Structure 1
Amino acid sequence: MEDIRALELYCGIGGMHFALKKICPSAKIVAAVDISPNANKVYAHNFPQVKLMEKGIEGFSVKMLDKLNFNMVLMSPPCQPFTRIGLQKDVADPRTKSFLHFLSVLPKLSKLPKYILLENVKGFETSEAHKELVKTLNACKYNQQEFLLSPRHLGIPNSRLRYFMLAKRDKFHYNLSKQNNQIWECLPIPVSIIPGVQQSLLELETTENSSEPSAKRAKLESKEVQNGTEHNQSECDSVELQTIEAFLEPNPPEDSFVPSKIIQRYLGVVDIVTKYSTNSTCFTKSYTQYAEGTGSILNMKNTKSKTHISSNMEPNIKDFRYFTPTEVANLMCFPKHLSFPEEISKKQRYKLLGNSLNVNVVSYLISLLLLVNKEILT
């Protein structure tokens, strides 16, 4: 494999970094860029050897980028301009300015990066920013492939549907519609789960209907699962889903338990799962701060089905608890050696994880991006 020199934009706590190293341990991150002080503290704590730049990307000139000498770009631009529960101001949102700036300087680089991987929320694919991205990549003669993927496609019991763009200044020498196991033998992922990753922009989930009002669609997305075994199974027919139990800490802290009044008040809207469930809803930056649509709550009772309690019952204080930050990180497939500086509070950890991505999903896509064995794949 060729030497990879990656520029990590909007690096957050380093999800892209972990994903790249999982596929290509010899890869070098030439620089990581983010404007969040807390995210940068966590990134520096885990990757002290990387050049970390706390500045806006719109401050980078062509000359500055050329000096970094990178051949890969990994980026997760701000998603707020495109989220369904937001104002959807798209390119008019100031938070899109840095991304548009990067697109404006990309064609002017003395040497274009060979590989680009971009992650964002579902909805980005219909935005004006997406149109500008495709226009720029076409002008620079990149081949592109787009995906809507959830961790459940890889057997991970967590719903986090996201848009991904792979761009490469070379042909993609594979066909995702083929189901010949020989095609996938060179991938660093077990062959048995690969068929579940046949999801493109042309094959949206049945729960996603663009004709529905945005508020209703957002509610559907936040409540994809009311029972861990009854999720839209079409997205993972060929995948054996793991249970949540494999991602839990053996001795969670006492402050993880949910007050009974929260359970009683929000029983009809909160997603409750058990350790036997094969799904959990997307964990957002507001997890534990709000009940609805921010992530699942764990029923601690030793049961294989969701416990139904009525609003006039007084649940035991230790019947239900929040997932810990470590467990959320586990479900997002961060490695066990991810750690947080002591000064980063529990609330801040949830927020940083909620703004991050699933490491295994990105690892899978990087493996597709870097495939070079044409004899097997053509």
Structure 2
Amino acid sequence: MSEASLRALELYCGIGGMHYALKLCGLENAEVIAAVDISPLSNAVYRHNFPGVLHMEKGIEGLSAGELDRLKFNLLMMSPPCQPFTRVGLKKDIEDPRTKSFLHLLSVLPKMTNRVTYILLENVKGFEESRAYKMFCETLDQLGYVRQGFLLSPKQLGIPNSRQRYYMLAKCSQLGFDKKWYKSKQPILKSLPEDIKLQLLSSSCPVGLQTTSGSSDTCQPLQNFLEQSDSTCENYELSKDTTERYLSVMDIVSPSSTGSTCFTKSYGQYIEGTGSILNLSPNNNNTTASCDRKAQHYKLRYFSPREIANIMCFPKTFYFPETITRKQQYRLLGNSLNVHVVAYLLKLLVTQ
């Protein structure tokens, strides 16, 4: 299958992270021909940014094999609900009602007359230990795909953010390839093999950011992703009371920092474990041990939704409709993915 004729179906499309990854990974004549999601809020953002794409607001379990065949896609991109597998959830796996749509998809794929050429799946760390994962692998094996799993974080590609996710790449075995990293008996790599890592790090970032060369531990500073306006500092500043109350549990970073913690959907509502806080004090005293911290040493603010979108490598052309509140923007970004990582994996999937 030529990369010049890629027709992608984006399931669980959210706010369009995989769509942007496909646009920005440098594959010629690749297009998203349809997108599906059940969330009205994320769909409003998707349609706002991609008004020309066939968009279906429905559950995946409402898609039949015939309906999928009629779309004539050869690349399937999807990010199924992660709540049944996340470490902070109940881990009910296939017994969680939110896996119903994914299990339906697994039952429909063998019934399609059109064999999808490429498949990319993204989910949280922990999915690879689930029964849903085992069923997914069994379905791929039954249909004759070769597959490879990855646990990757943006920090491995020079982006200053820890957001480890599980990715599965699968190709129709009729294509014929012998790359050593496609080994179905070794489905998970804790890190990228050296040859692939060096290839990715030496390439130009598809979203207009300069990647590092050499060690994957070397990341860009956060200042490359920040808004510089005074209004941002004022609108997102933490109050004195909030600073004093939660200072000991904050992950505090400075503009010169080369790392940040994972931003979750609860960022802006809760402090602990939801994402890093930016310190704009001239002293940048973020290295002080938490037990020795003093509130007067800090000038703290939240990262804005636009800055988080930058860190997650959404392009400048991405924006939220005016009707989407700040709380909703944080929530939608927390449920999304890193465009930079997915773009590289898509290119790896199609061109190797």
Task: Normalising by structure 1, report the TM-score.
Answer: 0.82
Which of 90, 95, 103 in structure 1 is aligned with 2:93? 90
Residues 144 and 45 of structure 1: CA distance in aligned 2, closer, same or farther (over 3 Å): same
Q: Paired residues, what number?
A: 330
Cα RMSD (Å) = 2.5
* 2:59 maps to 1:56: yes
Instruction: Return the letter of the residue paired with 1:302.
Output: P
What CA distance in whole angstroms lies between the structure 2 residues aligned with 1:12 and 1:69? Answer: 22
Deviations 1:67-95 (A, max 9, x none): 11100100000000000110000000000
Whether contact under 8 Å (1:154, 1:194) holds in the other structure is no
Deviation at 1:185, TM superposition (A): 10
Residues 242 and 193 of structure 1: CA distance in aligned 2, closer, same or farther (over 3 Å): closer
User: Partner residue of 1:131?
Assistant: 134
Residues 339 and 155 of structure 1: CA distance in aligned 2, closer, same or farther (over 3 Å): same
Whether contact under 8 Å (1:8, 1:29) holds in the other structure is yes
The 5-angstrom pairing of residues 26-105 of structure 1 reads: 26-105=29-108
Residues 180 and 110 of structure 1: CA distance in aligned 2, closer, same or farther (over 3 Å): closer
* 2:17 maps to 1:15: yes
Deviation at 1:238, TM superposition (A): 3.8
Deviation at 1:194, TM superposition (A): 7.7
* 2:272 maps to 1:292: yes
What CA distance in whole angstroms lies between the structure 2 residues aligned with 1:165 and 1:123? Answer: 13
Deviation at 1:270, TM superposition (A): 1.2
- SS of the equivalent of 1:370 reads helix
What CA distance in whole angstroms lies between the structure 2 residues aligned with 1:313 and 1:258? Answer: 15
Residues 180 and 281 of structure 1: CA distance in aligned 2, closer, same or farther (over 3 Å): closer
Residues 112 and 183 of structure 1: CA distance in aligned 2, closer, same or farther (over 3 Å): same
What CA distance in whole angstroms lies between the structure 1 residues aligned with 2:46 and 2:201? Answer: 33
Whether contact under 8 Å (1:187, 1:367) holds in the other structure is no
User: Partner residue of 1:233?
Assistant: none
**Structure 1 unaligned runs (5+)?**
196-236, 373-378
Whether contact under 8 Å (1:258, 1:320) holds in the other structure is yes
Whether contact under 8 Å (2:278, 2:302) holds in the other structure is yes
* 2:221 maps to 1:243: yes
What CA distance in whole angstroms lies between the structure 1 residues aligned with 2:201 and 2:90? Answer: 44
Residues 160 and 11 of structure 1: CA distance in aligned 2, closer, same or farther (over 3 Å): same
Whether contact under 8 Å (2:155, 2:216) holds in the other structure is no
Residue identity over aligned pairs, in percent, reads: 54
What CA distance in whole angstroms lies between the structure 1 residues aligned with 2:261 and 2:294? Answer: 25
What CA distance in whole angstroms lies between the structure 1 residues aligned with 2:74 and 2:317? Answer: 27
User: Partner residue of 2:145?
Assistant: 142
**Structure 2 unaligned runs (5+)?**
182-192
Deviations 1:236-287 (A, max 9, x none): x444211111100011152200112222112221100001111010000000
Whether contact under 8 Å (2:158, 2:216) holds in the other structure is no
User: Partner residue of 1:6?
Assistant: 8
Deviation at 1:2, TM superposition (A): 3.3
Q: Which runs of 4+ in 1 moved over 4 A?
A: 180-195, 309-314
User: Partner residue of 1:315?
Assistant: 296
Whether contact under 8 Å (2:83, 2:89) holds in the other structure is yes
What CA distance in whole angstroms lies between the structure 1 residues aligned with 2:344 and 2:292? Answer: 43
Task: Normalising by structure 2, report the TM-score.
Answer: 0.87
